[in-house]
A and B are shown apart, each in its own frame.
Chain A
Amino acid sequence: MPLLQVAQAIEASRIGTALRESQWGFPALNMVHLIGLAIAGGTIVFWDLRLLGVGLRRAPVSQVGASLLPWTWAGFAIMFVSGSLLVTMEAGRLYGNIFFRMKILFLILAGLNVLVFHLTVYRGVSAWDQARVVPLRARMAGGLSLLLWFSILSCGRAIGYSLDYGA
C-alpha cells in the first residue's frame, strides 16, 4: 500500500478519529509534547554546549553525557509518544506537508549525527575527557546537533501554522 494511503488509513483509524473529535485531545497532546521538549531539549542542549566548551565545561565530558542521557531518553520518549498520537490526528494532511517532511529528515540527521559521533571521535574520549576544548570533530557534532534541534523545533512550529493557515 502506498505511503499516502497508509497515512490516510491512520487518520481514519479509531484512535485518530477519537483524538480529533475530543475537544482536549489536541491541546493536551501539544502540551505534553512541549513538556517532553523542555526535558529532552534541556538536556541535549547542555550536552552539546559541553562539547563546545560552554556551560558545564569543568565537568568531564563522559560524565555529562552519561548522567544526562537517561533524562534525554525520558523526554524523548514523551515526545515520541505524544508526537505519534498528534500524527494520527492528521496523518493524511501531514503526509504532503513540507515542514513535516523536513522535520522527519532533520530528526533522522540528528540521529545519524549521534551515531557517527559515538562510533568515531567519542571512542577516544578518555584522551580529552577533562579538556575544555575538545577535538574539532566533537565540537562539530555538538554544533550540528544544536542546529538540527533548532531546525526540528522550527519545523514543528511551522507545521501547525501551515496546516491552520494553508501557507
Chain B
Amino acid sequence: MTAFATWCQHTAMAEAIRSALWPFPMIEVFHIAGMVVVFGTVLILNLRVFGLILRSEPVSQIAQDLTPLTLTGLGVQLVSGSMMFATSAMKFTDNALFGIKIGLVIAAVAYHFGIHRRVAIAKDTQEGRLRLSAAVSLVLWAGVVLVGLGIGVLS
C-alpha cells in the first residue's frame, strides 16, 4: 500500500496538480458537484419511497429515470476522487477517515445497484420492504457524505 501511494504521488499528474495552487480546489469543486448529483438522486428516490414527494409518479419510474444520473455523478466522483487521492496519496492512506469512506462508498454503491434499485424497480415489492431498503440506503449514503465532508473539512 505504501509503495502504491508513493507511486501515485510521483506520477506526472500528481506532480502537475501539486505544482500550482488552483488545480486541487478545481478538482474538489467537481467532486462536490458529483456528490450533489449522486446524493440528490438517492435523496429524491428515497423521499418518493417514503411518500414525501411526487406521489403520483411510480417509484419504479423514478428509480429508472434517475439511474443514468447516479452513474454520471459516480463517474465524476471516481475520476475527481482518484485525482485528489493521487495528489497526496500517503496522507490519505494514513487517514483513518479515508479508509472508512472507501468502505462506505463500496457498501453504498453495492447496496444501491445490488439491492435497493432492484427492489425499487420490481413491481411486486412490499411497501414495508421498500421503506426498509430506503432507510438502509439513506443511512449508507449519509455516512458517505458526512465522512467525505469530514475528510475535506478537517484536512
Contacts and interface: CB of A to CB of B under 8 A. Distances in A.
Interface in B108-131: none
A35 B149 contact: yes
Q: Of residues A30, A35, A55, A158, which shows the largest number of chain B Cβ atoms within 10 Å of its Cβ?
A: A55
Contacts of B35: 38
Contacts of A57: 65
A165 B57 CA distance: 49
B149 to A, nearest CB: 5
Interface stretch (A11-19, A62-70, A113-121): A62-70
Contacts of B100: none
A27 B153 contact: yes
Interface residues of B, number: 35
Contacts of B21: 161, 165, 167
A18 B153 CA distance: 19
A131 interface: no
Contacts of B36: 37-38, 41-42, 45
A43 interface: yes
Contacts of A49: 69
A150 B40 contact: no
Interface string A124-167: 00000000000000000000000000100110011011000101
Contact of A153 (B33, B56, B62, B153): B33
A107 interface: no
B25 A58 contact: no
B33 A150 contact: yes
Contacts of B69: 46, 49, 54-55
A42 B142 CA distance: 13
A67 B149 contact: no
B17 interface: no
Nearest to A45: B40
A34 interface: yes
Interface in B31-55: 32-33, 35-37, 39-41, 43-44, 47, 52-55
Given A31-B150, A71-B53, A157 B66 contact: no
Contacts of A87: none
A59 B41 CA distance: 15
Given A55-B65, A58-B61, A42 B25 contact: no
15 contacts: A27-B154, A41-B36, A42-B39, A45-B36, A46-B41, A49-B69, A56-B65, A56-B66, A58-B61, A63-B56, A67-B54, A67-B55, A68-B44, A68-B53, A158-B25
Interface of A: 27, 30-31, 34-35, 37-39, 41-43, 45-46, 49, 54-60, 63-64, 67-68, 71, 150, 153-154, 157-158, 160-161, 165, 167
